[in-house]
Structure 1
């Protein structure tokens, strides 16, 4: 099993986290881990993101990664902050090679056959399908995955607790990315843990 596949199989859902205040980082991570969802994608969309990664990395059981990584400099900054895997919205050869050279588990974004073929050329077989709903939903991914039997996906973008089951039923899907587990603002840790438990239970349905 590849390193990124190990991350993808920790739980059926990887929370996609946009956190504005680093003070919220540890309570959120603790609630998610307690709910059975240990792989956490902290998006680099806020000024606090790197500090959030560093704080969440201190939580026992948390596997913290960086999302919305666009270039080599962001990759290095995220790893320095404590990120243990990298997620990008798309794939460039330069970013792909940088991740491979550094030995960091990498989940690149793909939306079409050309993206997947570029990834395969680089030796990558695990991909994010993004933006999942806007790119055509489950029908699109089923059609896209058919020619690439070795590829497995983490669809992200527009997926909800209600629709996650449909995505997870696709054989080429290992997990999904979801932002519904942690709404914006001050965290309600009890509600986050409850949503995490519901998400973790998707694996058994």
Structure 2
């Protein structure tokens, strides 16, 4: 794999996200909920979302949510190059992985789609930087030590942009986003499996609006 940054993909993630600093992370077990979920998220002010590949039917969910004009949709929990290819074919505009995998990164580069690999250590971060990536997902952020760990990792690598995800609570959002190296924050509290099972789109809309307002502070 090329160990230098691809100029065509440099900073493309920030452009794909369109300035969004909040990424709802969605595990959607029933594709039938995709359209009303997309509507609730956009009504709450969200402009992008990450659909995890953990659930059966994730590709159909991606297709339906990507077809919703108000959302830029990416694929999360992508573990293999084959999943990355399927995700992009389904409409994913960016790919997120829980860890750093060279083959997944190489496939995303081949497909021309930005990838955000997960890192938990300085060693993993150095591997990502050596591969030409400047944006990584700190995961699981809170279990790793939260803001203290993010700041400690960021200090020796000032060129890095972080997307902390995992265990972050709504009241912590503003503190994370106040860190200059944080590009965006991923969170799953806005649309949980319980919300979707109940068809509680009003709560999804409210929680999304509250999170978007917090991210703008």
Q: For the superposition of Structure 1 and Structure 2, which TM-score range results when normalised by the shorter chain? A: over 0.9
Contact 2:173 2:215 in 1 (8 A): no
Equivalence for 2:66: 57
CA RMSD in angstroms comes to 1.3
Measure how far apart 1:25 and its partner are: 0.4
Measure how far apart 1:122 and its partner are: 1.2
2:179 & 2:86 partners in 1: Cα distance?
Answer: 34
SS at match of 2:190: coil
2:198 & 2:83 partners in 1: Cα distance?
Answer: 26
Which residue of 167, 178, 184 maps to 2:187?
178
**TM-score normalized by structure 1?**
0.95
Q: How does 1:55-204 map to 2 (within 5 A)?
A: 55-184=64-193, 185-204=197-216
Measure how far apart 1:31 and its partner are: 1.1
Measure how far apart 1:9 and its partner are: 5.1
**TM-score normalized by structure 2?**
0.90
Contact 1:10 1:38 in 2 (8 A): no
Measure how far apart 1:204 and its partner are: 2.7
1:64 & 1:8 partners in 2: Cα distance?
Answer: 9
Contact 1:93 1:118 in 2 (8 A): no
CA deviation digits over 1:158-205, x for unaligned, max 9?
001111122112221121100000021233222111111111112332
Alignment partner of 1:33 is 2:45: no
Listed as ranges, the gaps of 5+ residues in structure 1 are none
Name segments (4+ residues, structure 1) moved above 3 Å: 7-10
C-alpha distance 21-8 of structure 1, shift in aligned 2 (>3 A): same
Measure how far apart 1:150 and its partner are: 0.8
Contact 2:17 2:72 in 1 (8 A): no
Equivalence for 2:4: none
Measure how far apart 1:8 and its partner are: 4.3
SS at match of 1:114: helix
SS at match of 2:24: strand
When structure 1 is superposed on structure 2, of 44-53 and 180-189 the one drifting more is 180-189
